[in-house]
Amino acid sequence: MPEHIAAGDCVGLMRPGIDAHTLGLDHVAQLLRECGVRAVVADPDVGDALDCISRPESSRILQQWITANRITHLGLSYRLDPARGRELFGYLFNYLRERGLLAEYGGPIKRLYFAGLPEACRTVEQEYRGRVIVFSGDETPGETLARFGIPSRLIPQQMRNASQYDDARRQFARDVIAKGEYLNIEPADRSGYPGYGKADDHVIRRLDHSIRRNLPPLIRAHAGPYHPDRREAISLFLDWARQLAQAGYLDILSIGTSQLTQSKFGEDWGGLPNGGGVPINSPAEYRQVWEAARPMLVRTYAGTKNIPHLARMYEDSIHIAWHALSFWWFCRTDGRGPNNVYHNLREHLETLHFVAQTNKPFEPNIPHHFAFRGADDITYVLSAYLAAKTAKLSGIPFLILQVMLNTPKYTWGIQDLAKARALLRLVREMEDRRFRVILQPRAGLELFPSDIEEAKVQLAAATALMTDIEPGISNSPQIIHVVSYSEGTRLADPAVINESIQITRKSLEEYSVWRRKGWVPDMSNSAEVNARTEELYNDVRTVLAAIEHSIPNPYTPEGLYRVFAAGFLPVPYLWECRQEFEYALEWPTRLINGGVRTVDSHGYPVSAQARADIAAQRAGRIKVPVSLKID
């Protein structure tokens, strides 16, 4: 156990300029500050100096930063190449030693920390033998503070409660993986209803059949091998589909198609690089996939242009289980496609009207794309609600509500539960006999480390979190999107996908036992979760009221464009179309108490009413692009 940080100490956190990963440093600094510990994150000029530490000017900048801030504990973060991370830490250590800045040489630095990829952490820990405390980035807030030596009396009660929940889930997950009993989980037999595995099969019939028979949730997973030769890649994927179908663990196969498939389907690719994913380029190849995958249901990504046409083709070729659309994304805003945002919205809403005619579900592939770009929790929930209401108004009968947890990865479990519950409450208020909502949670991609055993633990812990979204409902969640444990390092093959499903299924079984025995906190009526859920619900309602008052017909392509352009959905990390959506970039965000909030230039939270009022004032000035031309 490291020595306690004393009053008057200051933790300095730094990263080299080449490493753009800043959220982890800000997260740690905030945790320390909330415990009353002074923490300073280095400015970019200090990071640049660290990149070339041997230069006299760099040395001066670094020492001046340490001295001016009276830093007594120093941490370096480097999450790129492990060998370079170890080397960089070595340069820093030698620099501090040679200039007498370490406490053992009479200097101010009492303790050193290093955060990096697991391999880099192992080599640094071995080389410096207890003189450095390492962080791989997978620690809960409680584990992080323990490694810094923060006395428990300094940790705020809200943080202790959050940490207790997250730590308990981690302990549960470690127990599940250590026992290995998940390998005994058998496939669930979903057969026995009309149309099973045939062209007219339907995910809702499969779901209702499973609920009646008290079977586990339906399981959906992505699969998509890479091979430089297009035909070999398709042949390999067909083999994977057959293997997954024969094993019987997977219910819905999501085809991980290549970027070329999404953006240039049916065109002559002329030797363009595949870039990963399955390079399907004809309806006949999609039909081959459906045949190989039976009796699994099959779905795939939407395209990035000609989206209504592709949706019809998916219906004809793979009898797609459900359609997923992203509204403001998979276009110029993220560099994934040629459509401008307004054109994208026009195509997506046209596609929604077609999907409604097929009686198939729709999945908003939207809120986590805002979260990837720094959006706050209100924006996460609001964007999904806007998509859900647009879908209902378009005649969609079934909404598959994907909730990506652990995004960003430093989100506390209680905050994830609050986001999911607030969103479900809002969307379920729209339910009636013509509109049904189906919950489909998933783990966030950032959650999975490169250490395979730790990744399995994280998968089990995320599954436990899913069951706490609606702990009082026996058949919730109804569908689980299983992210395979290898995703942090490599593509998942059928063996990994099946094992990931076994881990998920066993975790579902065991967690209910642990909850019943009181070995994990009962989150069914958590005061912290309830308070944050209510706050989020009311905040989203506040912004919605401003949208519906200031924007005529907001659930149309023109209205949804104005919502984004006026700044109702802040995305501070948007890198494309920045001039067009300048108001969306205006509000910075930061992690506060394990959730993401919009803040002002001084870092203080901005109320939902204040930001909604500003966006509403601008809404009337937003001009919708006239041209639908694709460059």
Q: Give the Cα separation of 435 and 401 in Å (integer).
A: 12
- Look at residue 608 in the predicted model and tell me its pLDDT: 97
How confident is the model over 40-45, as a mean pLDDT? 89
Q: Which residues neighbour 397 within 8 Å (Cβ) at sequence distance 6 or greater?
A: 356, 359, 361, 434, 435, 436
Q: Where are the alpha helices (DSSP H) in 266-340?
A: 283-293, 307-317
pLDDT given at position 450:
80
d(CA 485, CA 499): 9
pLDDT (tens digit, 9 = 90+) per residue, 389-426?
999 999 999 999 999 999 988 899 999 999 999 999 99
Please give the C-alpha separations between residue 430 and each of 379, 389, 390, 398, in angstroms, as whole numbers. Answer: 19, 8, 11, 11
Query: In terms of CATH architecture, what is 10-155?
Result: 3-Layer(aba) Sandwich (3.40)
Q: What is the pLDDT of residue 21?
A: 57
Decide: 150 and 32 in contact? Cβ < 8 Å: yes
**pLDDT in the model for residue 441:** 98
Indicate the pLDDT class of residue 239, thresholds 50, 70 and 90.
very high
116-135 tens-digit pLDDT: 888 889 899 999 987 899 99
CA distance 125 to 127: 6
Evaluate whether 464 touches 507 at the Cβ level (below 8 Å): yes
- Residues of the chain above pLDDT 90, percent: 72
Average pLDDT rounded to a whole number, residues 222-247 = 94
Please write the tens of the pLDDT for every residue from 447-501. 888 889 999 999 999 999 999 999 989 899 999 999 999 988 888 999 999 999 9
pLDDT of 629 reads: 46
Q: Would you call 439 helix, strand, or coil by DSSP? A: strand
Task: Tell me what pLDDT residue 188 has.
Answer: 97
pTM for the full model?
A: 0.89
Q: Residue 590 pLDDT more than 50?
A: yes
pLDDT tens column, 69-100: 999 999 999 877 888 888 889 999 999 999 99
Model confidence at 18, pLDDT cuts 50, 70, 90, reads low
> Is the pLDDT score of 506 beyond 50?
yes
| Among the listed residues 476, 622, 488, 483, the one whose alpha carbon sits nearest the alpha carbon of residue 558 | 622
Mean pLDDT of the chain, nearest integer: 92
Sequence-ordered list of residues with C-beta below 8 angstroms from that of 23, at least 6 positions apart, any chain: 408, 410, 591
How confident is the model over 102-121, as pLDDT tens digits?
Answer: 998 899 999 999 998 888 89
CA distance 241 to 309: 25
The mean-pLDDT minimum among 65-79, 118-132, 227-241, 339-353 falls in 118-132
* Domain-wise residue ranges, the chain: 10-155, 530-619
394 forms bridges with which residues in the sheet?
none
pLDDT band at 158 (very low <50, low <70, confident <90, very high): confident
Minimum mean pLDDT range among 137-141, 167-171, 211-215, 412-416:
137-141
Terminal CA-CA length for the chain:
59
The rounded distance, in Å, linking the Cα atoms of 497 and 519 is: 29
Q: Is the pLDDT of residue 240 over 80?
A: yes
Q: What band does 44 get if pLDDT is binned at 50, 70 and 90?
A: confident
User: Under DSSP, is residue 56 helix (H, G, I), strand (E, B) or coil?
Assistant: helix
Q: Is the pLDDT of residue 631 over 50?
A: no
Confidence of residue 10 (pLDDT cuts 50, 70, 90): very high
